[in-house]
Structure 1
Amino acid sequence: MPDDQNLEPNSRCGYIALVGRPNVGKSTLLNHMLGQKISITSRKPQTTRNNVLGIKTEAENQLIFVDTPGLHLNQSGAINRYMNRAAGSAIKDVDVVVFLVDKTQWTEEDEAVAKRLEGVKVPLIVAVNKCDQLEDKSVLLPHLEKLAKRLSAREIVPISALKGMHLDRLESILIKLIPAGTHLFPEHQITDRSSRFLAAEIIREKITRQLGAELPYQMAVEIEEFQQDRGILHISAAILVERDGQKRILIGDKGDKIKLIGQQARLDIESLFETKVMLKLWVKVKSGWSDDERALRSLGYDDL
């Protein structure tokens, strides 16, 4: 039997793509809209690699956000091409597109995203993020006017994803734009991704935050064991890198780096799954995986 909620005559439900160049705040926006962390964040561009659904259900409204990898100009490797395809595919199959830009900045990559959105048939909302960081607020209005001329946007909303500024206004606009219809997910479901995927992403986030520029993008996490036993969730994960030098950086002096990454990841995983976690990490060298379509599919980059 369907939930009574799904029979609500005034119910609305729709898909909303969050798009923009890398590191503009899409994942931060998703997490704050949901009130829970499901998409990993860091200051390093291209942290998000997969489309991740975040589902927010309140009363008769169900907003299904699609957090996309940042659209970027570099397509030299298979992983880069994959991320651009993932972001591009999301734009085609949604009811609303939210284009995030960073304060008063407008880069070559922003322009590339704008061109990708020129043929979009659904309503476009521009969210001008990180407005709390503007010391001189007077520069914002001229920039908003420029955006209005460049983009065929239904609305342009200044926000701060991190501080939660004007997110209620953004949400009310989105609710009006999504179509009437029954809800597609149960009320308490917040993502379409598996527990294994979320655990791998948390580990990858901690690596990215710890190592920053020290470790290139050629790094992935592969969950090899994920099993609950006597109240403890046992997780074993292999971290893939391309070269021996990257492995040494990741392990650190006497294993200090990998130990710290494991400690931080375990705490977040325990918080997410609300259970005690036993986490084991090790590092494998797999040369060329990030430019190998077959290797990418084996690591889960196969949903296109």
Structure 2
Amino acid sequence: MGTKCGYVAIIGRPNVGKSTLMNSLIGEKLSIVTPKPQTTRARVLGILTEDDAQMVFLDTPGFLRPRGLLQEAMVREVREGLSEADVVLAITDATDLERTFDEELRELLKSSDRPAVVVLNKMDLVGQKEIFEGLKWLYERFPTEVVPISALKGHNLDELKKVLKGFLPEGPFLYPPEVLADQPERFFVAELIREELFLNLGQELPYATAVKVEEFRERDPSEGKTYIRATIYVEKPSQRGIVIGEGGAMLRKIGRWARKKIEAFLGRPVYLELWVKVRPKWSRKEAALRELGYLR
């Protein structure tokens, strides 16, 4: 019997646990996760190889009605993920099914000719009766394989992988078995810095920020330390002041926690230098979005 391999697009409304699920399936933190919705802005690719099957997951931004050029680019990422997928994995929230599996999302699934698997996520937050009723509710509205899981706790992920494997086409692996991702290290470094912005700043400010890694090199080979210089872009001078904080306290805090995460990800010591610059209306300018990697 030959090998099976295919792309699995993970889609869903904001904050339903898409990134948490991909990280749990891969066994490595590839997508940043915060309590704030719309943390994911670009597709993140994660590769899971087990025995005779390889699943290439595409973690897409939360599906929403776009307001502005940046969100339009995010929705385009979702639709492109759908078009590239061999199977679609739709994530719903067991505590909020009507919002997270509404008619608009169902129509998006129906518009694709790809097979779909629907996941009832956050099963750990509801009782057995609610799980049963949730599975019934989902199946009645979209008859397909429906699997209850907890992405955060890792519950029932083996069953989900078994179901997904059944939809994969036969074919050779696209990546060597030991490879977990195909994005460059710079991409993940920028994402880890952006994660700290979301975790440490207020409700709205993180959405006006972007991160670009300007320099990434071995500064002192004898120490084995990697030098990283990154710029945090904001849209207004007042936002720059908040990111820097009084006496630079906030920027130091963001840099300290980001450096620890980057060192854990890279597996080596890092010297991280952060700068904050004002770039007015960057989220509404096509050239800026292209430079920052949100448009291709």
Q: Please, what TM-score do these two structures have when normalized by structure 2?
A: 0.95
Unaligned runs of 5+ in 1: 1-8
Q: Deviations over 1:227-247 (max 9, x none)?
A: 123111100000000011111
1:301 to 2:291 alignment: no
Check conservation: 1:42, 1:205, Cα contact below 8 A: yes
**1:261 maps to what in 2?**
254
Tell me what 2:217 maps to.
227
SS in 2 for 1:193: coil
Cα distance between partner residues in 1 of 2:136 and 2:189: 42
After TM superposition, the runs of 4+ consecutive aligned structure 1 residues lying more than 6 A away are none
Contact 1:52–1:192, Cα closer than 8 Å, also in 2: no
Are 2:118 and 1:126 equivalent residues in the alignment?
yes
Task: Give the stretch that moved more between structures: 282-291 or 105-114.
Answer: 105-114
Name the stretch that deviates more: 102-111 or 291-300.
102-111
CA spacing shift, 1:212–1:187, aligned 2, 3 Å: farther
- Whether 2:153 is the aligned partner of 1:158: answer no
The structural deviation recorded for 1:59 is 2.2
Which residue of structure 2 lines up, in the alignment, with residue 89 of structure 1?
80
Q: How does 1:47-196 map to 2 (within 5 A)?
A: 47-73=39-65, 75-108=66-99, 110-111=101-102, 112-134=104-126, 136-153=127-144, 155-196=145-186
Match of 1:198 in 2: 188
Q: Specify the code of the residue in structure 1 equivalent to 2:170.
A: A
> C-alpha separation between the residues in 1 aligned to 2:277 and 2:67?
24
Whether 2:22 is the aligned partner of 1:17: answer no
Q: Which amino acid aligns with 1:219?
A: T
How far apart are the structure 2 equivalents of 1:179 and 1:192? 21
* 1:31-50 → structure 2 map (5 Å cutoff): 31-50=23-42
* Identical positions, percent: 42
How far apart are 1:188 and its partner, in Å? 1.4
Residue-pair matches, total: 292
Q: C-alpha displacement at 1:146, in angstroms?
A: 1.6
TM-score, length-scaled by structure 1: 0.93
- Contact kept, 8 Å, 1:72 with 1:109, in 2: the verdict is no
Q: CA RMSD in A?
A: 1.3
Stretches of structure 2 lacking an aligned partner (at least 5 in a row): none
Contact 2:10 2:59 in 1 (8 A): yes
Residue type of the alignment partner of 2:111: G
